Structure 1
Amino acid sequence: MIFHVRKLRNTIPFLVDSSKARTFIHGSSETRPLALSSQIFSSKNEDETKLSELDIIVSKVRLPNGVDEIVNSLVNDEECNSIKLTRSLVVGLLHRFKDDWKSALGVFKWAESRLDYEHNPDGYDLIIDVLGKMKQMETMMVILQEMGNRHLVTLNTVAKVMRRFAGSGQWENAVKVFDELGTYGLEKNTESMNLLLDTLCKACKVEQAREIFLELKRHIVPNAHTFNIFIHGWCKIGRVDEAQWTIEEMKGHGCRPCVISYSTIVKFYCCQENYDNAYDVLDEMRAEGCSPNTVTYTTVMSSLAKSEKYDDALLIAERMKSDGCKLDTLFYNSLIHILGRAGRVGEAINVFEVEMPRNSVLPNTSTYNTMVAMFCYHNQEQKALNLLAKMESSGVCKPDVQTYNPLLKACIKNGKTDDCFSKLLDDMVKRHHLSLDMSTYTLLVHGLCRANKCEWAYLLFQEMIGKGLMPRYKTCRLLFEEVKEKHMYDVAEKIEDYMKKM
């Protein structure tokens, strides 16, 4: 079962050159000298002796733009080379640059060049995943080959490569990687078969997965997980009858359907807003002696809230409590969101401040994000900022990009794109060393255009492309129209050229 490998597509050339990439700023120089992601770490006012070793290295890779530039800057930096590299430090750096493949690969190659350091499988797997996520497939395969030569490829590595191929629309290449498992010293067994089938089903290639399964099952015995993969796959492409038939097939192979099997179908009906059928499946679960769990109920509850059936959603929450379900962080995050959308902010605060601690359920980053988003939704930005400060000082969890997005959006909405807005951006990059992702860049570019600050928006647009993130056509078009209206014709021409290559 060998599939022809299609030629990997080349990425669209960047608009900006490496010299310009060093001068991107998160604000207009006409208003104030604001620091930004590429400059913020080079501030002479910052006491670098107080930085951790990870922060010191991060500060050195923010200025250059190309991979080779990053490697050279680190190789020639005495302070970086005086730091003893450990695996945890390198893994931390790769996590830090998970949305910036050039910086991640630059750090990876620099660490590889050090005589006192050797990458382990975890480091390789991380760079493989970062490259695959950013669709740098050729480079990803070079790294995989290097791992193969060193006998470091694991099933986890293969899973990452297959998923990234499938996610980029190259499912045949995912199958080819499976076909070549033997070259990496790995077996084709139930576990590896399930990884391939799961990869294909999640990429909506369920029929192809089914054909491969029918061929493989002659030599590889399926298990319950195999059938659950197909139940999820059929539901994903809207063929719930096939999913229900798979439950019967599952029983025929001596595998008992579990909560996951039924909950997947419940989720499908909820996505279709067919709650009567969802409730029927819940009844079937109880009849089969397979009681719905917290995940099942939370799925129904969240879906009802999405359909703005808040009262029904809260009834499910009460049902969970009366059934003695173990309430977890995921449940409480959903409950807080529902209460917030229903306008019951006080009750949401009580859940966060009283009920969760009483039940010994710790909040996570998503909990804080939900609370921050709720306050911003109800125009209570100061409470959101106070909660962010509490989150930062709690030590329980750290803010991420999604923590800041509602706050940035609120600033744009209220026309506050100066001090508060700039401080939030500075804190993201300077204090928490967060790498802006596609959604944040899109939010900023769109918001700044509407705030009549298209020069700033264009700088962010350039920075976005310089990091290998491809803007959506809608974003390009909006920015194009704004800069043209401001008679920035050279910029408009560059954006137009970029759109033609999309």
Structure 2
Amino acid sequence: MQAACARPLSCMCCQSLTLRNLCSPSTSSRLVATRNFQHREQCQGHTGLFDLDILISKASKGSSEDEIFQSLVNDRACDAINVSHNLIEGLLHRFKDNWKSAFGIFKWASLHSGFRHSPETYDMMVDILGKMKQWGKVRALLEEMSQRSLITLNTIAKVMRRFAGGGQWKDAVRIFDEIETLGLDKNIESLNLLFDTLCKENKVEQARAVFLNLKQHISPNAYTFNIFIHGWCKVRRVDEAHWTILEMKGHGFRPSVISYTTIIQCYCREQNFNRVYELLDEMQAQDCSPNVITFTGIIFALAKAENFEEALQMAERMKSVGCKPDTLFYNSLIYTLGRAGRVHDAIYVFKVEMQNASLTPNTCTYNTMISMFCDHAEQSKAFELLKEMQDSGLCKPDTQSYHPLIKSCFKAGVIDSCLNDILDYMVNKHRLCLDISTYTLIIHGLCRADQCEWAYSIFEEMINHGLVPRHRTCRLLLDEVKLKNMYGAAEKIEDVMKKLL
């Protein structure tokens, strides 16, 4: 095992402010032996655990939703739990990336007398199943919701987006065609949902075909055209976005700050800042003043392109025209200052300017600061911010909060001494369910650190929780296990890769 105080994380491991100090005593034990950090029992038995802890413990084990459902039904401690909407919503959020556990809990809660799922919990369950491409179960749940008249436009939006996101865009269109049988109206509001769904999944031409087919029956509104402007920009066909503005005017609608800002953001992605500045001038000529969202997007793009001085000048320009900053603006400003190496200025914005503007930092603000400190090898300050976020009650850490810290572990080569503690803190302290990006980060880091046995155990856990690894992750891990002559592991990885084709 490598020395726990190896640089540059010595401050993290040796000073009083470490993750072990931040963790409660019940979560500070080592997880190296099992390497299975995500759903470890917090202590023996159920004594002293809250209802949430009991259900998380039970629902974390099982190879199918039915097995999980039966374990909940047959457990006396679970039987004594008072089921509430808040409890079920919390559990569904906890298992949002683990459909088997989520669905087992959902079905178990349905058995309790006096309890009926709310439209919100139904929508959450539909979304979780759709995310994991469990289309048959989605359809069955929609039928159940329809019988209870619980389907809303929010439900339809989630179903359409999951179908389109899963490559089933024709099913998304079919849902719109069937919308009246589900108790909703075919109107411009529901049609815009379909357009928005298709455009966000880069199916703009398909959305356009539906538009041309239905525009004589359902009249478009200004939002319809803004959806298409965004869609064309997303697929980098900015000329069509400009033509859509002309079409918008032809239908009697005036392009708004949203219309122009969308095109500006497209030019920002292309780093075509000359066109950005031209459009800003055009907006002013059209008496359509840019807003804080317009400026924030430009500042962030300039910073990503390492045009830090231009980005800071744009921030001053925004203030000079009387555009009031918001939290997202300050997040971009902090990011810019951090990338420019002006750490002290970023801290001043975070601690003083935002407070003077009566703005509260959000999770993204903290994440930006944490990432900045890690980039500048100041991990102890990153941990201080993590604790501040926890204690302030203003917002909660998410998985992205921990990614810079995980990367720091790999960079410093102190994996055994730090990674387990970080993961323990994520899962047991903040009850975060590891997502695909976190699993991917860990597996890739372990492979590069020549810890492919550990990486493979994490890969197996990921599969067991119903998450589909990326092809690049499988390829990297496969190459590593072959070098270690782990033939059984290689065969299983190849089986997973075949399913990805």
Structure 2 distance, partners of 1:124, 1:490, is 40
8 Å Cα contact 2:335/2:372 also seen in 1: yes
Please, which of 209, 218, 242 is the counterpart of residue 244 of structure 1? 242
1:272 and 2:270 equivalent?
Answer: yes
Q: In the alignment, which residue of structure 2 is the partner of 1:310?
A: 308
* 1:204 corresponds to: 202
* Mapping 1:463-478, distance limit 5 Å: 463-478=461-476
Partner residue, 1:139 = 137
Matched with 2:61 is: 63
**Match in the other structure for 1:369:** 367
Q: Where does 1:426-437 land on structure 2 (aligned, <5 Å)?
A: 426-437=424-435
Q: Which aligned pairs between 1:255-404 and structure 2 lie closer than 5 A? A: 255-404=253-402
What's the counterpart of residue 10 of structure 1?
none
User: Which stretch shows the higher mean deviation, 408-417 or 247-256?
Assistant: 247-256
1:131 alignment partner AA: L
Shift of 1:458: 1.0
Q: C-alpha distance in 2, partners of 1:453/1:276?
A: 48
Measure how far apart 1:34 and its partner are. Answer: 6.1
Cα distance in structure 1, aligned partners of 2:276 and 2:47: 57
> Is the contact between residue 365 and residue 397 of structure 1 (CA under 8 Å) also seen in structure 2?
yes
**Deviation by residue 1:87-134 (Cα, 9 ceiling, x = unmatched):** 122112111211111111111111112223111211111111111112
1:193 corresponding residue in structure 2? 191
| Residues 6-50 of structure 1 deviation map (CA, whole Å, 9 limit, x = unaligned) | xxxxxxxxxxxxxxxxxxxxx998x54666213244x22x8852x
Which of 148, 151, 154 is equivalent to 1:150? 148
Any conservation in 2 of the 1:231–1:265 contact (CA below 8 Å)? yes
CA contact (8 A) 1:39 1:63 kept: no
Distance in structure 2 (CA, Å) of the matches to 1:402 and 1:248: 41
How many Å apart are 1:53 and its aligned residue?
2.8
Contact 2:30 2:421 in 1 (8 A): no
Aligned partners of 1:35 and 1:426 also within 8 Å: no
Amino acid at match of 1:278: V
How far apart are 1:148 and its partner, in Å?
1.4
Q: Hey, what does 1:229 align to over in structure 2?
A: 227
Q: Deviations over 1:402-426 (max 9, x none)?
A: 0011101110110111222211110
| Partner amino acid, structure 2, of 1:168 | G
Structure 1 residue 439: deviation in Å? Answer: 0.9
- Per the TM alignment, residue 347 of structure 1 is displaced from its structure 2 partner at its CA by 0.6
Query: 3-state DSSP class of the match of 2:394?
Result: coil
**Post-superposition shift, 1:451?**
1.8
Q: Percent identity, please.
A: 58
Distance, in Å, in 1 between the alignment partners of 2:499 and 2:161 is 26
Matches of 1:40 and 1:347, distance apart in 2: 44
CA distance in 2, matches of 1:188, 1:33: 54
Equivalent-residue separation in structure 2 for 1:253 and 1:56 (angstroms): 58
Deviations 1:294-325 (A, max 9, x none): 00000111111111111111111111111221
How many Å separate the matches in 1 of 2:490 and 2:202? 38
- Could you say which residue in structure 2 is the equivalent of 1:445? 443
Distance 1:155 1:261 in 2: 24
Task: Pick closer, same or farther for the CA change 1:232–1:315 going to 2, 3 Å.
Answer: same
Aligned-partner Cα distance in 1 for 2:436–2:184: 36
1:64-83 to 2 correspondence within 5 Å?
64-83=62-81
Q: State which drifts further: 473-482 or 140-149.
A: 473-482
Deviations 1:319-365 (CA, angstroms, capped at 9, x unpaired) = 11112211111111111111111111111111111111111110011
Separation in 2 of the partners of 1:33 and 1:288? 64
| Aligned counterpart in structure 2 of residue 102 of structure 1, from 100, 103, 106 | 100
1:161–1:174: 8 Å Cα contact kept in structure 2?
Answer: yes
SS at match of 1:334: helix
CA distance in 2: counterparts of 1:382 and 1:35, whole angstroms: 26
| Equivalent position of 1:21 in the other structure | none
In structure 2, which of residues 416, 420, 437 is the aligned counterpart of residue 418 of structure 1?
416
- Provide, for residues 444-488 of structure 1, a one-character-per-residue CA deviation record: whole Å limited to 9, x for no partner: 111112222222111110011111211122222222222222232
Tell me which amino acid in the other structure corresponds to 2:382.
A
Q: Scaled by the length of structure 2, what TM-score is found?
A: 0.91
Contact in 2 for aligned 1:28/1:455 (Cα 8 Å): no
Structure 2 CA distance for aligned equivalents of residues 237 and 397 of structure 1: 34
Identify which of structures 1 and 2 has the higher relative contact order when contacts are C-alpha pairs closer than 8 Å and 6+ apart: 2
How far apart, CA to CA, are the structure 2 residues paired with 1:203 and 1:474? 22
Which stretches in structure 1 are left out of the alignment for 5+ residues?
A: 1-26
- Residues 439, 392 of structure 1: CA spacing in aligned structure 2 closer, same or farther, 3 A cutoff? same
Amino acid at match of 2:404: P
Q: Which runs of 4+ in 1 moved over 3 A?
A: 31-35
Q: 2:112 aligns with which of 108, 111, 114?
A: 114
- What TM-score, normalized to structure 1? 0.91
Size of the aligned set, in residue pairs, is 473
Question: Conserved in 1, the CA contact under 8 Å of 2:456 and 2:477?
Answer: yes
Distance 1:461 1:407 in 2: 20
CA distance in 1, matches of 2:35, 2:229: 52
Letter in 2 for 1:420: C
CA contact (8 A) 1:401 1:428 kept: yes
